[in-house]
């Protein structure tokens, strides 16, 4: 688990001021408005008791979007010329760009000009990225170029996030892909995919490439393609056997990709599974599941086996059954049944090795129930219900072991599951209502949510961080 511990984020005064010399008050003006900050030792900040400046430590006991995360990193209240507050850690002055001293703006669009930084009398540019270290709850980041739902998001080895395809405004099948750079908060368009597709899978291979498989445009697809982040381009690879969407794809510990189940309008529901070998670029059939399944889950257990749960079968009835794939034999074995039949649910491997299944739809209603699979006994036990019923939501296992569940089924609500107490607690609402979105864990540990749809405007281009 990587967390941002930024040792160089320490305020220093760029010129050493003698203890006896009073620092000048800082004032600057923009649009003919002038603000003067009084430099006083009583309100000084950040690890430099010798400097007189107006930085205050942020108030961490307030709720809301612009307050500091309670953390060991103290956060300070930086102000713009318009007295807008930004909380960020102390930052070494020498790494900060200075603001244009006439327009009070920053060359970089990812910074804001702050005038009370304790960095000499020159206003400096505070990177928005630094403010993320102090935010808590959900906060917006830049919009995608395309609004999309039923898309994919993959965190690449360089930390950028690749978003692909999906359905766009007007029920358009998207062939576009874009990259989000968490270090700048900027989206850039990358190469178009060879096929427009939605409801497909994306798998990060061990060589850093991303495999897209199946999905649909006007009809289900058997095609697959690879993204090379070093060139930003897509190349086709061999076709799967059977066009399918609403399948799963899991990267096994041996590097192969296991595709299971899915739906093909003409052929119906698949019980078949196949393996993609990145070293040869070929697909081979592996054992069939005991059940045909669509809108199921697949989770890689710590022992390398793959747990498949629920979904719907060819009679469109939600399943409570589950089965295990053994990569060493290429065979499936049934395991304990879930307590609830469900599809459009989630399945996540917790840090204790158990699998948490949440929500979904049983054919009659959307579920708030959750249950745990114990790989050592092959059994399911119910755990506390979520506060909200959800399907088409996202689940992210955080680095502290807690589990963040977000959105789905007409909501912007989010809640946290604590595996040690088996309890759910509500956390801040997302800024947008969304279902059919994606959630990825960035290398910083933040959760990054993109797109999806709400009930008002439909397809979303927005993205937010938690
Ligand atoms: C800080 O301000 C106080 C009061 O204005 C002054 O007595 C003190 O010398 C100043 N300290 C420095 C380092 O300038
Ligand atoms: C800074 O501003 C305060 C309050 O306006 C004033 O009392 C003080 O003399 C100023 N200091 C300098 C160095 O101008
Ligand atoms: C600033 O004030 C001057 C004179 O008062 C005026 O000519 C100018 O247009 C003003 N600038 C802005 C940006 O308001
Ligand atoms: C921080 O906010 C809380 C809640 O509004 C308030 O009670 C407290 O006085 C504030 N603390 C400071 C240092 O401003
Ligand atoms: C800036 O805002 C704070 C409250 O957030 C207020 O206490 C302070 O007086 C304001 N300063 C100026 C120069 O307007
Ligand atoms: C503004 O910046 C320019 C170049 O960066 C510098 O030469 C000039 O002295 C600065 N003016 C003030 C008032 O700081
Ligand atoms: C900042 O944004 C403006 C307008 O959106 C754009 O023209 C400019 O190229 C951007 N600058 C950088 C460094 O990204
Ligand atoms: C993002 O897109 C939404 C909807 O299209 C729009 O309302 C919002 O202003 C955009 N935000 C930014 C920062 O461009
Ligand atoms: C990508 O695809 C879109 C939509 O089909 C098209 O408008 C655009 O020109 C394509 N871009 C490139 C670089 O081929
Ligand atoms: C993949 O399947 C599509 C449609 O079924 C077909 O047009 C294409 O030629 C196939 N590609 C390969 C490499 O077999
Ligand atoms: C949209 O609203 C309908 C009726 O209120 C609800 O059944 C459905 O789940 C909602 N869908 C989403 C994605 O919010
Ligand atoms: C989240 O939003 C719902 C509905 O809009 C509202 O009832 C609830 O109080 C909000 N929760 C929080 C923690 O803000």
Is residue 109 in contact with ligand 7, taking CB distance under 6 Å?
A: yes
Q: Residue 426: what pLDDT?
A: 94
List the residue whose alpha carbon is closest to atom 7 of ligand 8. Answer: 462
Q: Residue 42: what pLDDT?
A: 36
Contact in structure between 225 and 233 (CB atoms under 8 Å):
no
Low-confidence ranges of the chain (pLDDT < 50): 1-52, 61-72
Pocket test for ligand 8, best of 112, 140, 141, 143 (most atoms within 8 A of CB): 143
Is residue 35 in contact with ligand 5, taking CB distance under 6 Å?
A: yes
Contact in structure between 50 and 19 (CB atoms under 8 Å):
yes
Q: Residue 91: what pLDDT?
A: 67
List the residue whose alpha carbon is closest to atom 1 of ligand 12. Answer: 429
**Residue 41 Cα, ligand 1 centroid: separation in angstroms?**
6
Q: Which residues pair with 111 in a beta bridge?
A: 127
Q: Which ligand is nearest to the CA of 43?
A: 1
Nearest to 245 by CA among 227, 276, 223, 226: 223
Pocket test for ligand 11, best of 452, 455, 456, 458 (most atoms within 8 A of CB): 455
**Residue 82 Cα, ligand 5 centroid: separation in angstroms?**
9
List the residue whose alpha carbon is closest to atom 3 of ligand 11. Answer: 410
The pTM (predicted TM-score) of the whole model is 0.74
Contact in structure between 72 and 89 (CB atoms under 8 Å):
no
List the residue whose alpha carbon is closest to atom 7 of ligand 5. Answer: 83
List the residue whose alpha carbon is closest to atom 3 of ligand 12. Answer: 413
Going 252 to 255 to 260 to 265, the CA torsion angle's sign is: positive
Q: Residue 60: what pLDDT?
A: 52
Q: Residue 102: what pLDDT?
A: 80
Contact in structure between 27 and 37 (CB atoms under 8 Å):
yes
Element (H, E) at 307: strand 306-309
Instruction: Report the C-alpha gap between 295 and 366 in whole angstroms.
Output: 14
Is residue 188 in contact with ligand 7, taking CB distance under 6 Å?
A: no
SS3 state at 170: coil
Q: Which ligand is nearest to the CA of 62?
A: 4
Tokens coding 95: 């790494």
Fold observed for domain 139-465: Neuraminidase (2.120.10)
Q: Residue 277: what pLDDT?
A: 98
**Residue 359 Cα, ligand 12 centroid: separation in angstroms?**
19
Contact in structure between 460 and 433 (CB atoms under 8 Å):
no
List the residue whose alpha carbon is closest to atom 3 of ligand 3. Answer: 32
Nearest to 26 by CA among 123, 95, 105: 123
Q: What number does the ligand 10 atom closest to the CA of 222 have? A: 2
From residue 225, how far is each of 80, 234, 277, 282, 295 by CA, in Å?
47, 6, 13, 12, 22
Q: Which residues pair with 308 in a beta bridge?
A: 298, 323
SS3 state at 1: coil
Is residue 309 in contact with ligand 12, taking CB distance under 6 Å?
A: no
pLDDT digits (tens, 9 = 90+) for 53-64: 566 766 554 443
Q: Residue 224: what pLDDT?
A: 98
**Residue 22 Cα, ligand 1 centroid: separation in angstroms?**
5
SS3 state at 187: strand
Which letter, b or e, does each residue of 416-449 get, where b requires 16 or more Cβ atoms within 10 Å of its Cβ? ebebeeeebeebbebbbbbbbbbbbbbbbebbbb
Q: Which ligand is nearest to the CA of 236?
A: 10
Contacting residues for 346 by C-beta, under 8 A, at least 6 apart: 297, 356, 357, 358, 359, 360, 393, 394, 395, 405
Q: Residue 29: what pLDDT?
A: 33
Q: What number does the ligand 11 atom closest to the CA of 392 have? A: 13
Instruction: Report the C-alpha gap between 129 and 368 in whole angstroms.
Output: 35
List the residue whose alpha carbon is closest to atom 2 of ligand 7. Answer: 109
Is residue 146 in contact with ligand 8, taking CB distance under 6 Å?
A: no
Pocket test for ligand 8, best of 180, 432, 462 (most atoms within 8 A of CB): 462
Instruction: Report the C-alpha gap between 36 and 462 in whole angstroms.
Output: 37
Q: Which residues have CB under 6 Å of ligand 11? A: 409-410, 435, 453, 455
Contact in structure between 464 and 140 (CB atoms under 8 Å):
yes
Burial class (CB in 10 A: 0-12, 13-18, 19+), 319: buried
Domain residue extents for the chain:
5-132, 139-465
**R_g (Cα) of the chain, nearest Å:** 25
List the residue whose alpha carbon is closest to atom 13 of ligand 7. Answer: 108
**Residue 374 Cα, ligand 5 centroid: separation in angstroms?**
55
Q: What number does the ligand 7 atom closest to the CA of 109 have? A: 1
């Amino acid at each position: 688990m990587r967390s941002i511990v930024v040792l160089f984020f320490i305020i220093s005064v760029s010129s050493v001021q003698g203890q006896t010399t009073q620092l000048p008050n800082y004032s600057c003006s923009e649009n003919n408005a002038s603000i003067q900050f009084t430099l006083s030792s009583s309100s000084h900040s950040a690890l430099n008791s010798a400097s007189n400046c107006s930085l205050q430590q942020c108030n961490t006991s307030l709720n809301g979007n612009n307050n500091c995360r309670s953390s060991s990193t103290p956060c300070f209240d930086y102000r713009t010329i318009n007295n807008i507050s930004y909380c960020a850690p102390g930052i070494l002055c020498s790494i900060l760009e200075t603001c244009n001293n006439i327009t009070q703006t920053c060359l970089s669009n990812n910074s804001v000009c702050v005038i009370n930084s304790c960095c000499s009398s020159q206003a400096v540019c505070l990177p928005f990225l630094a403010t993320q270290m102090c935010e808590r709850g959900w906060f917006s980041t830049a919009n995608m170029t395309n609004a999309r739902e039923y898309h994919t998001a993959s965190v690449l080895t360089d930390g950028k996030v690749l978003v692909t395809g999906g359905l766009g405004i007007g029920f358009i099948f998207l062939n576009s892909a874009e990259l989000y750079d968490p270090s700048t908060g900027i989206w850039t368009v990358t190469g178009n995919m060879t096929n427009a597709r939605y409801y497909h899978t994306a798998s990060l291979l061990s060589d850093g490439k991303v495999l897209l498989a199946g999905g649909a445009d006007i009809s289900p697809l058997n095609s697959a393609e690879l993204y090379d982040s070093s060139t930003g381009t897509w190349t086709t690879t061999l076709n799967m056997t059977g066009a399918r969407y609403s399948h799963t794809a899991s990267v096994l510990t041996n590097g192969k990709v296991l595709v299971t189940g899915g739906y093909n309008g003409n052929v119906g529901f698949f019980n078949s599974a196949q393996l993609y070998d990145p070293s040869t670029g070929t697909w081979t059939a592996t054992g069939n599941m005991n059940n045909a399944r669509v809108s199921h889950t697949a989770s890689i257990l710590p022992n390398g086996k793959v747990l498949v749960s629920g979904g719907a079968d060819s009679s469109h009835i939600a399943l409570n059954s589950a089965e295990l794939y053994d990569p060493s034999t290429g065979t499936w074995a049934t395991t304990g049944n879930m307590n609830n039949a469900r599809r459009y649910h989630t399945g996540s491997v917790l840090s204790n090795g158990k699998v948490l299944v949440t929500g979904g739809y049983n054919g009659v209603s959307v579920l708030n129930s959750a249950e745990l699979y114990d790989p050592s006994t092959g059994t399911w036990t119910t755990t506390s219900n979520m506060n909200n019923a959800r399907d088409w939501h996202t689940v992210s296992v955080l680095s502290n072991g807690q589990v963040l569940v977000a959105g789905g089924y007409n909501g912007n609500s989010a809640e946290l599951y604590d595996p040690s107490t088996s309890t759910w607690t509500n956390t801040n609402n997302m800024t947008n209502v969304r279902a059919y979105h994606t959630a990825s864990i960035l290398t910083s540990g933040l959760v990054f949510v993109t797109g999806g749809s709400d009930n008002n405007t439909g397809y979303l281009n927005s993205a937010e961080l938690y």
